[in-house]
Structure 1
Amino acid sequence: MQMQALSLGFFAAVAVGGLAWVFLYPMLSGEKQAEKRRSSVARVTPAVRQVERTQRSRREQVEGSLRDIEARKQKQKNVALSTRLTQAGLDWTPKKFITISAVLGVFVFAVTMLFGGGLTAAAGLAFAAGFGLPRWMLGFLKKRREKRFLNALPDAVDVIVRGIKAGLPLFDSIKVVAADSPEPLKTEFNAIIETQTIGMPIGEACARLYDRMPVPEANFFGIVIAIQQKSGGNLSEALGNLSKVLRDRKRMAEKIQAMSMEAKASAAIIGSLPPIVMLLVYMSTPDYIALLWTHPTGRLMLAGCVVWMAAGILVMKKMINFDF
């Protein structure tokens, strides 16, 4: 009897231990909670992976846009003459520009020799008039055109934003801007419409705006449109943020210009003092200062003064012009 009791007790203990192992141990050891966590992670993982793929895609697109920006900057260092003429708003051919520059140089050379300026002076003035002056005019016209473009671009972006919010497609909104905007914005947006009409995607057509108008604001506009066309998103919100950025940059440029006016006035006064003093001395005692252009040593000194004055003016201009 005692052996039977012990056997029953042993089997009962084993049964109770097995039940405890099956039902109580997972609860006490945390295996059920771990299993729940694994199942929840398994359910969330596809959504997380989808978000990661979307973020990776956007990151790759932004990186591609940045690489395009660097490539464009490299191209801007060696701009063809035909491109520079287009950026300046001239419809001249490179051949016409070179011909006019050569004629101007020959004319200045002939006039200088006619008035007895000497071969060296005539050659220097002819080089300046035939090579330096036309390219300076190109740069001046280009900067003036870019300034007009930047003044009108924020309003044009606002028009596009209002058109998109009203339900118009992007292409139709750009048409509205091209019809009502002032020059040169009208010409540039008409170029976007023409390139898109012949089959080029609207994003690429807007990205090409930077080639004709090499300013950061035009590049921003092209990048926003190109990224939205590739990855989607709220275009009106993106362009609204772009408009705010453009207006902030314009406000900052005007603030910098106002702060640098004192330095510019000082540079203008310093640069104009030597010619003014020279003119006053010539008006009071012309024979005294006439040695500068009648004696060979005087002409050499005068040429050196012109060179050093030009170098000083260029240095001061570099110091008071700010890029941002």
Structure 2
Amino acid sequence: MSRGFLAMVLLMLGGGAMLLVAIGSRTHRVIITRRVEMIAAAHVDTLRAGPLPRITRFLRMADEFISAVFSFRKSHDWGTRSHSPILLAIGLLGGAGAWLVTRTMLGLPGWIAVPLTIMAFLTGPHLKLSMEQAKTEALFTDRFPNAIDSIIRMLRAGLPISAAIRAVATEPSPPVDAVFRVIADQMDIGVPLDVALAAAGQRIDLPDFRFFTVAVALQHATGGNLTTTLEILSDIIRKRRAMRLKAKAVTAEVRMTSYILASIPLVIVAGLLAINPNYLAPLISDPRGNVIVVIAVGSLATGFLTMRQMMRHATRI
């Protein structure tokens, strides 16, 4: 494969990704505009608006399909914000970069380069969604006790729990306000409180929020002092958060050591390439060297992921 042809392929992939991003953003603007117009003209017969254009329906289905592909093995994705064009662009860039490194630069055979390219194409967007979800969950856990305190103050003032949930939903405290807004909207259309809380707990799938939904549902069904229960729950959530931060501080040295150990082989390889580039040439030109490279990279990745998973288990409280 010539360099000119490879450059042309990369340019086509980049242009296609940019085009998908532009089309996707325009599609979302069109959908939002149509919804605003339908709300503003509620007195007009809705049949006059007609169905959405075929291209809009197709792009919406493509958006859902691409998001489902990149969200494989994710039990929940309520905290993700990236749309499918962005995910597709990340996947194309990751796949093109993996192919450029494995096939063009290292000259690895196709049976090695193709699986690595597919893995890079799928892994990049998946990591993007996972980081967004983790960031949203951490922000929710940090702000959730304040929302519970707001509910406690409203209950002491004599407001019902439904009004307290609606008030929390109107406070500008994302992502907590969005979660409570869904619960309040479901209650407004007649969904019982326990059913709305159970659905929200299953969708959010965070231990602290599940404790809250179970406590509120039980107290609402059987009666009792909900204020005291929520005060205890808020105190427990804050103590668990303090323990998590303490565990992260204790394991900070271990985590830094693992990062240094994982980077040492890369630094050594970079130094050898700078001092004597021909020293590592057999790893690229010899098929046996290709196998050694794949095994070495796989071992480094496995060790790094194992240490990272151990650190996560140590700080998961």
TM-score for the superposition, normalised by structure 2? 0.69
Distance 1:276 1:143 in 2: 30
1:134 shift after superposition: 2.5
The verdict on how the C-alpha distance between 1:83 and 1:297 changes in structure 2, with shifts beyond 3 A counting, is: closer
SS at match of 2:173: coil
Structure 2 match to 1:214: 205
Is the aligned partner of 1:291 residue 2:308?
Answer: no
* Matching residue of 1:156: 147
Contact between 2:88 and 2:125, CA under 8 Å: does it hold in 1?
no
Residue from 128, 133, 147 that aligns with 2:138: 147
1:167 Cα offset (Å): 1.5
Instruction: Specify which structure has the bigger relative contact order, considering alpha-carbon pairs within 8 angstroms and separated by 6 or more residues.
Output: 2
- Alignment root-mean-square deviation, CA: 2.7
CA–CA distance in structure 2, aligned partners of residues 304 and 83 of structure 1: 28
What SS does the corresponding residue of 1:279 show, helix, strand or coil?
helix
Assess if the C-alpha contact under 8 Å between 1:195 and 1:205 holds in 2: yes
Does residue 279 in structure 1 map to residue 270 in structure 2?
Answer: yes
Distance between the aligned counterparts of 1:300 and 1:81, measured in 2?
29
Asked whether the 8 Å contact 2:201–2:209 carries over to 1, the reply is yes
The answer to whether the aligner puts 1:193 opposite 2:184 as a matched pair is: yes
Q: Which residue of 2 aligns with 1:318?
A: 309
C-alpha contact (below 8 Å) 1:149/1:183 kept by paired residues: yes
Q: 2 CA distance for matches of 1:267 and 1:87?
A: 31
1:289 maps to a residue whose letter is: L
CA distance in 2, matches of 1:105, 1:274: 23
C-alpha distance in 2 between matches for 1:218 and 1:248: 15
Superposition TM-score, scaled by structure 1 size = 0.67
Q: How many residues in Structure 1 have an aligned counterpart in Structure 2?
A: 243
CA contact (8 A) 2:169 2:176 kept: yes
Report what 2:243 is aligned to: 252
Structure-1 residue corresponding to 2:173: 182
Q: How big is the shift at 1:83?
A: 7.7
In structure 1, how many angstroms separate the alpha carbons of the residues matched to 2:244 and 2:287? 48
Match of 1:230 in 2: 221
Measure, in 1, the Cα distance between the counterparts of 2:179 and 2:249: 30
Structure 2 unaligned blocks of 5 or more: 1-70
In structure 1, how many angstroms separate the alpha carbons of the residues matched to 2:82 and 2:122? 20
Give CA deviations for 1:41-63 in whole Å, capped at 9, x if unaligned: xxxxxxxxxxxxxxxxxxxxxxx
Which shifted more, 287-296 or 299-308?
A: 287-296
Residue 143 of structure 1, CA deviation: 1.2
Paired with 1:110 and 1:304, the residues of 2 have a C-alpha distance of 18
The unaligned stretches of length 5 or more in structure 1 are 1-79
How far the C-alpha of 1:104 sits from its partner, in A, is 5.9
